[in-house]
Amino acid sequence: MSEKNCPLCLQENHCDVVAKQGCWCNKVTVPQALLDLIDEQAKNKHYICNVCISRFISDPDSFYNKQASKKVDLS
């Protein structure tokens, strides 16, 4: 999996942290409970996308249920 992919949904995370104007990811607070869902192998290597962050914030229970039904291979 590329570092440009969200470790939760596997879609492109659209992170542009190296851009001169900065990135959306510098303006959002990611809930610790969402960070805790990331596999240890992906922590500090992959960025969660804005879609997953928004979905988690709006309905954490539904997000947990969808993640529990997925098996993500990060190797």
pLDDT at position 57, please? 94
Band of the pLDDT at 54, cuts 50, 70, 90? very high
Rounded distance between C-alpha atoms, residue 28 and residue 33, angstroms: 15
Rounded distance between C-alpha atoms, residue 3 and residue 6, angstroms: 8
pLDDT at position 22, please? 76
Across 70-75, average pLDDT: 52
In this predicted model, which residue has the larger pLDDT, 41 or 60? Answer: 60
Confidence check: pLDDT of 27 > 70: yes
